């Protein structure tokens, strides 16, 4: 495919309900979308960076910078045989993984459209339905959280994950477990603890959690292994895993028993597939994380989740949990038994609503082949 033009834009989308983690509260998303125009198709990619550098070092603004100044120019005017061919072209830029992943996602979408195939098949997926879990943020009160869990359990979701932090953990888990002794339950600390608190974290064992996600430092693997050795509950790494080598390190050290794969965090689908293969070879189950995506990113997560080693319910849930109106048609829906039926139409399987996107756009820039190349 010849990369003829790339449009970068920012849209704003208010969340139906705020989302709070140990690193802060989000009420409105500032989402970057790219459109890659090839000679045969158009592909869309969503950037999963947050509004500020709180989950990781990237943000909406740094992704805009990396894409417009370096990454778009690295592929514009070039002919790529496959979407993965962008990876070596981007390699000169250190980090900026979410920015890279945005363009790679758009290339995969365009590639699938050109081939007239559903993206999930091109990725090597085998599932026709995926299992859904939900991630529920920190609320203003425990009662409010229990009400939210009740809604999601009734909606059929197969795994409930709650956000925890010091002061919002044992008390909360205790209340959840006494009301729902048998649900598949996990928690995510987004790096809110240190190894000094191992004793405290050992108390989580009594709640029979499926996993504790990223309890320690965002850049740590080694001390998670120390912690894992002291816990019955499985640890899952999210923030610490940037590439396949990190996944192998974590497996070799025994730093976790489960891995959360987010294509954005790891620099794109090619690296996500490599991590998937590392996990499969080492018999670590992995699952698909979420980053409060709009329908474009959500559709991509669905496609990725069809791969064999996505063995646990992901944070891939219905559009209506986040958005009054999603930018794909149909909106992503979950069956009463907590599954998403994977669409079989070419590309993402959901139509991108470009008219609505245009209305939500607050800035936009188009880059054409022949512009500055570094
Ligand atoms: O750690 O998984 C996380 C959202 C923003 C940043 C980090 C995380 C999350 C979630 C939300 O847990 C998952 C979702 O999109 O539903
Ligand atoms: Mg997480």
Given this model, what pLDDT does residue 84 score?
98
- Ligand nearest the Cα atom of residue 289: 1
**Alpha carbon of 132 to ligand 1 centroid (Å):** 14
Any ligand 1 atom below 6 A from CB of 152: no
The residue-averaged pLDDT of 133-155 equals: 98
Domain annotation for the chain: domains and CATH numbers: 3-116+352-368 (3.30.390.10), 121-349 (3.20.20.120)
Among candidate residues 100, 148, 161, 163, the one labeled active-site is: 163
What is the 127 CA–ligand 1 centroid distance (Å)? Answer: 23
52 C-alpha to center of ligand 1: Å?
A: 14
Q: Which residue has the tokens 């996944």?
A: 247
Q: Which atom of ligand 1 is nearest to the CA of 190?
A: 1
Residues 59-68, mean pLDDT to the nearest whole number: 98
Q: Is 43 in the pocket of ligand 1 (CB under 6 A)?
A: no
351 is catalytic: no
CA 49 to chain centre: 10
Distance CA 260, CA 310 (A): 9
* Alpha carbon of 173 to ligand 2 centroid (Å): 17
**Six token digits for residue 64:** 């805009």
- Confidence check: pLDDT of 160 > 50: yes
**Is 163 annotated as catalytic?**
yes
Give yes or no for residue 291 CB within 6 A of ligand 1: yes
Q: What is the pLDDT of residues 197-245, one digit of tens each?
A: 999 999 999 999 999 999 999 999 999 999 999 999 999 999 999 999 9
**Pocket lining: 290 vs ligand 1, CB cutoff 6 Å:** yes
On the question of pLDDT at 374 being above 50, the answer is no
pLDDT of residue 368: 94
Is the distance from the beta carbon of residue 323 to the nearest atom of ligand 1 less than 6 Å? no
Q: Is the CB of 292 under 6 A from ligand 1?
A: yes
CA distance 95 to 92: 9
Query: Which of 135, 298, 321 has the most ligand 1 atoms within 8 A of CB, as the residue to mutate?
Result: 135
Ligand nearest to the CA of 301: 1
pLDDT of 58 higher than 90: yes
Mean model confidence pLDDT for the chain: 97
């Amino acid at each position: 495919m010849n990369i003829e033009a790339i449009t970068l834009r920012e849209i704003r989308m208010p969340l139906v309900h705020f989302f709070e983690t140990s690193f802060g509260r989000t009420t409105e998303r500032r989402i970057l979308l790219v459109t890659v125009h090839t000679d045969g198709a158009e592909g869309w990619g969503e950037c999963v960076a947050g509004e500020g550098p709180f989950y990781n070092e990237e943000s909406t603004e740094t992704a805009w910078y990396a894409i417009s100044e370096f990454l778009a120019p690295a592929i514009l005017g070039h002919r790529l045989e496959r979407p993965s061919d962008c990876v070596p072209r981007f390699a000169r830029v250190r980090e900026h993984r979410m920015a890279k992943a945005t363009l790679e996602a758009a290339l995969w979408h365009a590639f699938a459209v050109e081939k007239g195939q559903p993206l999930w098949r091109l990725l090597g997926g085998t599932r026709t339905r995926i299992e859904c879990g939900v991630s529920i943020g920190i609320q203003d009160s425990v009662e409010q959280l229990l009400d939210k869990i009740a809604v999601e359990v009734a909606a059929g979701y197969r795994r409930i994950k709650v956000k925890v932090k010091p002061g919002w953990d044992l008390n909360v888990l205790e209340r959840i477990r006494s009301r729902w002794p048998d649900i598949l339950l996990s928690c995510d600390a987004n790096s809110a603890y240190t190894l000094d608190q191992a004793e405290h974290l050992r108390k989580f064992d009594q709640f029979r959690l499926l996993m504790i996600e990223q309890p320690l430092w965002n850049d740590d693997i080694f001390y998670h292994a120390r912690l894992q050795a002291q816990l019955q509950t499985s640890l899952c790494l999210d923030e610490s895993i940037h590439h396949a080598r990190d996944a192998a390190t974590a497996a070799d050290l025994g730093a976790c028993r489960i891995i959360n794969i987010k294509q954005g965090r790891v620099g794109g689908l090619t690296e996500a597939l490599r991590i998937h293969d590392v996990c499969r070879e080492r018999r670590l189950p992995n699952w698909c994380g979420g980053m409060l995506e709009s329908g474009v990113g959500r559709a991509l997560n669905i496609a990725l989740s069809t791969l064999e080693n996505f063995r646990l319910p992901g944070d891939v849930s219905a559009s209506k949990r986040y958005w009054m109106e999603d930018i794909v048609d149909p909106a992503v829906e979950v069956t009463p038994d907590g599954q998403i039926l994977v669409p079989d139409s070419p590309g993402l399987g959901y139509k991108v609503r470009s008219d609505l996107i245009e209305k939500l756009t607050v800035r936009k820039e188009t880059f054409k082949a022949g512009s500055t190349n570094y």
